[in-house]
Amino acid sequence: MGNPKPQIRTYLLFVEGICFLLGITAGFTGNSDGNIAYQILQKGFTAFPVIAAVMTRRITKDAAEWHISLKVWKNPLLWLFCAVVPNILITICL
């Protein structure tokens, strides 16, 4: 694998650029009730990084394999922690 800096910069440009543009647009258009920019941000926030990764790979012509596997962690307690703790924190913060 070569120098990853151009890929990282391109990826961050896409992710931050999309979110920043939508945030600025939402800020200038007024209230959050029915604002299309807010709705796109809410629904696409988890998809933006995936879209940016695919676009970055196409632009930089990266042909490396995708290493996607469900065997990320072999510790079931870590899986449980990752499944439960975010829900607890969201509930506490609301």
Instruction: With respect to residue 94, please indicate whether it lies within any of the assigned structural domains.
Output: no
pLDDT value at residue 17: 85
Instruction: With respect to residue 71, please indicate whether it lies within any of the assigned structural domains.
Output: no
| Total count of domains within the chain | 1
Q: Which structural domain, as residue segments, surrounds residue 32? A: 1-64
Would you say residue 1 has pLDDT above 60? no
Q: What angle, 0 to 180 degrees and rounded to 10, lies between the N-to-C axes of helices 36-44 and 5-29?
A: 140
Instruction: With respect to residue 20, please indicate whether it lies within any of the assigned structural domains.
Output: yes
Mean pLDDT of 68-78: 69
Q: How confident is the model at residue 94 (pLDDT cuts 50, 70, 90)?
A: low
Instruction: With respect to residue 78, please indicate whether it lies within any of the assigned structural domains.
Output: no
Q: What's the pTM?
A: 0.55
Work out the percent of the chain whose per-residue pLDDT is above 70.
Answer: 85
Mean pLDDT of 4-22: 82
Instruction: With respect to residue 77, please indicate whether it lies within any of the assigned structural domains.
Output: no
Instruction: With respect to residue 80, please indicate whether it lies within any of the assigned structural domains.
Output: no
